[in-house]
Structure 1
Amino acid sequence: MAALELNLTKPGDTVEKLVLNLDKGERFRVRLLWDGEVDLDLHAFVAINMGQGAKVSSFADILSTYNVKRVIRGQTVGTLEKKADGSFEIYAGALVHSPDALDGSADGDDEWVSIKPDTLNPPAGGAIEIPLLATIHPQNSGRTFRDVKNARFIVENSAGQEVLNVSLSEQFAEFVGVQGGSIMVEASGSSFAAVGVGFNKDFNQVLSHFA
């Protein structure tokens, strides 16, 4: 199968262990917040895991601002439709992404993703895995999370409990991206697994590990 690869340019860019909850009504909110002019992005995949790792097979599985339809130098790229409020979704709203924030100027969350695991159907003998990632947009070349003020990656469950709360600016200072964790969706219910792995690759290089 050909590798999946997304255009990492945005309009206006210059060219150059388990926390378990078996309640099938569980919901998760993934929050990314920071201060300053650096552009961070939040991403999630809907992948199949049959015991050999999470695998993404289609652009329809990728919730990312890089996968939103947009025109770059006269060419339409991306596959997801942006709603009137700037948000976008996959799997009929099972995963919804906030409007893309180009800086950390918002009060509270700058970007967020809401996830309804019980609307997804895991395969027999396997699970759906939803990796959750935060990255620095490549246009901010040369910067790591050390250069981003007060960057935090938070995951909350439906009870409002934080199952993950990490400082990207401090705990992942030397990296340009991090997989905070994964949400696992199985026949018995959903769970969150903290990962906490930093990387210094662009989004497509990270995506290749799930293809």
Structure 2
Amino acid sequence: MSNLVLNLSKPGEAAPKLSLNLNKGEEFKVRLSWDGNTDLDLHALVTVNTGSGAKASSLGDILSTYNVERVLEGGVKAGTLALAADKTFSVHGGALVHSPDARDGSLAGDDEYVTVKPRLLTMPAAGHLEIPLLAMIHPQASGKTFKHVENARVIIENSAGQPLLDVGLSSQFGAFVGVQMGSIVVDGNGASFIGVGVGFNTDFNGVLGHFS
């Protein structure tokens, strides 16, 4: 298929480690927090892996603020996901839900979060589902990497609130503008989290090219 590409504008402007949670009712929460004026974003993809890598098949598989329906300067329409009344947005019938987009790190606690309910996803005819989880700096923060962002941190928890990953982006991925923290893998046995820890120095469309 052709590469998936999103408009990256907003309105107005390590070694893999397997964390087993083979429970068909398991849920996950991805929490992103930081301090200061830099705009960070969480992204998640619903992909299928048949042995040749995780691939998304449509824009409806992309949980990203860049994929929310909106009107840009000049009346240009972008995005495919409806924004709910509470400013959240979701894919696959609420299997993945994103918190309201935060433009800075001013909130107490989590600035952005994503919840994942694998049981709401439909299994593919072949292969397994894989949900890559990404944190990135919005491109308008030109020249900034995570080392320029104060206290940027991602915590991934299971439904019992147990941390599967707790990583300081500012210190551990300071040279990068984006990172794939890991993936949630869903197969016939249930759901599990795999830590990845791969850094990127490209925009979200550049990262998206790896999964399309």
Alpha-carbon shift at residue 2 of structure 1 (Å):
2.1
C-alpha deviations, 1:162-210, integer Å up to 9, x for none?
Answer: 0001000000001000000000000110000000011101000100110
C-alpha deviations, 1:50-79, integer Å up to 9, x for none?
Answer: 111100110000000000011112111000
Alpha-carbon shift at residue 125 of structure 1 (Å):
4.0
Which residue is 1:93 aligned to? 94
Q: For the aligned residues, what is the CA RMSD? A: 0.8
Determine whether 1:155 maps to 2:156.
Answer: yes
Which residue is 2:23 aligned to? 23
Determine whether 1:143 maps to 2:144.
Answer: yes
Separation in 2, partners of 1:43, 1:159 = 23
Separation in 1, partners of 2:3, 2:52 = 18
C-alpha deviations, 1:118-168, integer Å up to 9, x for none?
Answer: 111222441100000000000001000001000001100011110001000
Which residue is 2:194 aligned to? 193
Which residue is 1:66 aligned to? 66
Separation in 1, partners of 2:41, 2:21 = 27
Separation in 1, partners of 2:177, 2:163 = 23
SS in 1 for 2:170: helix
Separation in 1, partners of 2:112, 2:134 = 12
TM-score by length of 2: 0.96
C-alpha deviations, 1:25-63, integer Å up to 9, x for none?
Answer: 100000000000000000000000011110011000000
C-alpha deviations, 1:88-138, integer Å up to 9, x for none?
Answer: 000110000000000000000000000001111222441100000000000
Q: Percent identity, aligned pairs only?
A: 64
Map 1:171-182 → 2, pairs under 5 A: 171-182=172-183
Which residue is 2:52 aligned to? 52
Structure 1 consecutive aligned stretches of length 4 or more whose deviation exceeds 4 Å: none
SS in 2 for 1:18: strand
Paired amino acid for 1:9: S
Which residue is 2:121 aligned to? 120
Paired amino acid for 1:183: I
Which residue is 2:109 aligned to? 108
Which residue is 1:210 aligned to? 211
SS in 1 for 2:107: coil
Alpha-carbon shift at residue 18 of structure 1 (Å):
1.3
Separation in 2, partners of 1:165, 1:171 = 11
Separation in 1, partners of 2:80, 2:126 = 30
Separation in 1, partners of 2:46, 2:59 = 10
Separation in 2, partners of 1:158, 1:85 = 23
Q: Name the stretch that deviates more: 88-97 or 123-132.
A: 123-132
SS in 2 for 1:205: helix
TM-score by length of 1: 0.97
SS in 1 for 2:20: strand
Which residue is 2:2 aligned to? 2
